[in-house]
Structures are given as C-alpha cells and as structure tokens.
Structure 1
Amino acid sequence: MKEIDRYTAYKAFSEAIRKHYKRLHVLLEEIHVYPGQPPLLFLLDREGGLSQKLLAEKINIKPSTLTTMLKCMEANGLVEKVQDQEDKRVLRVFLTTAGQKTVAAAKKIMNRLSDEMLADFDGEEVELFYNMMEKVKGNLHI
C-alpha cells in the first residue's frame, strides 16, 4: 500500500470538509435553514432565554454576525426576542413553536448526514475517526 504524505492527507481532509458543507447546505435548504444556524438552534433548544451577548460567546461568533443571523431567523418565525424583566437593556432569545419544529427537523438532517458520511465505517473505524478528529482539533490553535 502506498504511503500517503501529510499534504495529500490534508488535501483529502479539506475536500471532505467542502463536500460535507455542500451536502449539509442542500439538506438544510429543504427546511429553509442556513448551515450556520443549527448550532444556534440547538443551543436555544437546550438553553432558551439567553442574551444575545451570551449566545454569541457560546457559539463563538461575533455579536454582529449573531445579530444578522437572528434577524433572518426572526423574520422566518424561528426565534423571538423578549425584553428581560429585570434589565430592560437585555433581550433574551427564545425558540418559537416553529423554531422547535425546525430543531427537530435539523436534528434528523444531522443524523442523516452522519449516517451518509460514515456509511461504510464499522464501529472500530468510527471510533478511530472520532479520535483522529479530536486530535486534529487539539492540534489547531485558535
């Protein structure tokens, strides 16, 4: 078997990421969600009522990016902002009923995508893949 150099492995990883993103985009488009929105939807599902500042911190995006994302999601009826009763300067973000349904649909899509992505992997390979991705994350300093 031919030995793979680091650049070739990196290139394959980059191509896999791009294909994953494109496939995710296609699947999420079916439910009118953009690829950057699921982390926010899932966080709001777990911890609804967080401030915009805290949401931006928790999903590691700029507050201005979050503001744009929330405007779009609010226009689509997925989230609502409610003024904090104790501190009127703070807006808390909650999922609407439509947002909760969208979370359920997005979770199904994520499961479908992970099934597609790992279709030919046996249990040992899935574990190896997971461990390698954890190692990659640990190697990247941001």
Structure 2
Amino acid sequence: MDFCNIEGLYQSFIKVIKVHHQYLHNILEKLDLYPGQPPLLFTLYKNDGQSQREIADKLHIKPATITVMLNRMEKAGLVTRRQDVEDQRISRVYLTEKGREKCEQLKNIMVDLNEHCFGNFTEEEKEVFKTLLEKMAENIEKVKDK
C-alpha cells in the first residue's frame, strides 16, 4: 500500500474523518458543547439517572474522564448529580431542562448531518458501508492490544 498516494483508500478515510470532525466541531461550538458531550447527553436522554460508572462503561471512557466531563457539564447547567437514595456511595447523573433542550437540538442536527453524509446513498449502499466500517473496527480491535 502506497501511503504517499493522496488518492489512496486510507487517505480518503482520513479525509472523511477530518471533514466530519471539523463540521461537527463547528456546530457544537455554536451550541457551547464539546465533542465528547453529545454521546454523554444522549446516554442520559435515553436513560436518565445513571451512575458515573455506568456512563463510563457505556461510553468506553475512563471514570476519571467522565468526572472531568461532568464537572464541566454541571457548570454549564446541562446535568446535575445526586446521591443515590439507597446507596450514598453512588452518585447519579440527571439531565437538567437545559440538557434536555440541548439533546433536542442535537437530535435535529444529527438528522441533518446524516442527510448531508448519506443523502445520496441508496439503502443498500448504507448497509454495505456500515458492514465495511464494522469490519474495519473488528480488524483494529483484533490487533490494538498486541
């Protein structure tokens, strides 16, 4: 594989990642959100009141990173933390009304982003593309810890 070839498959993949990241970053900046926050917001939107450990496990993020993210999001008024009523050692995280509003905005943005990304794909092409991306992830998972 020629990695110096700017027309190559790997370069095209990196270009898509870069363009997508820049586009999403610009949108999130307008909403006063950071790139890691939407998945956390959506996780709570689906199932409010999770523990920090549950969130970390679902998002595959270290608990310490979740703590930093939640501190920032709490200061922004997006989430609130409360002790579990049955086990005071557990802190549960809840969306605030502002956090719910951001989720609604994000849902609309993600619909638009999907349309921009895949609007001219057929359903069959979307399925093939999804399968190929999953296969790539599996390939990397197999060798990442070697």
TM-score (norm 1): 0.90
SS at match of 1:81: strand
Amino acid at match of 1:132: L
Q: 1:112 maps to what in 2?
A: 112
**Runs of at least 4 residues of structure 1 off by over 4 A?**
none
Q: 2:52 maps to what in 1?
A: 52
Post-superposition shift, 1:119? 2.9
Q: 1:25 maps to what in 2?
A: 25
Q: 1:136 maps to what in 2?
A: 136
For 1:59-138, what aligned pairs fall within 5 Å after superposition?
59-138=59-138
Amino acid at match of 1:35: P
**What are structure 1's unaligned runs of at least 5 residues?**
none
Post-superposition shift, 1:124? 2.5
Post-superposition shift, 1:6? 7.6
Q: Identify which range, 99-108 or 113-122, moves more after superposition.
A: 113-122
Residues 6, 102 of structure 1: alpha-carbon distance in 2 compared, 3 angstrom cutoff:
farther
Amino acid at match of 1:49: G
User: Following the alignment from structure 2 to structure 1, what is the Cα–Cα distance between the partners of residues 122 and 88?
Assistant: 53
Post-superposition shift, 1:118? 1.6
SS at match of 1:140: helix
How many residues in Structure 1 have an aligned counterpart in Structure 2?
138
* RMSD value, Cα: 1.5
User: Following the alignment from structure 2 to structure 1, what is the Cα–Cα distance between the partners of residues 45 and 35?
Assistant: 17
Amino acid at match of 1:98: K
For 1:5-44, what aligned pairs fall within 5 Å after superposition?
7=3, 8-44=8-44
Residues 6, 123 of structure 1: alpha-carbon distance in 2 compared, 3 angstrom cutoff:
farther
User: Following the alignment from structure 2 to structure 1, what is the Cα–Cα distance between the partners of residues 2 and 132?
Assistant: 14
User: Following the alignment from structure 1 to structure 2, what is the Cα–Cα distance between the partners of residues 51 and 128?
Assistant: 36
State, as a whole percentage, how many aligned pairs show the same letter: 41
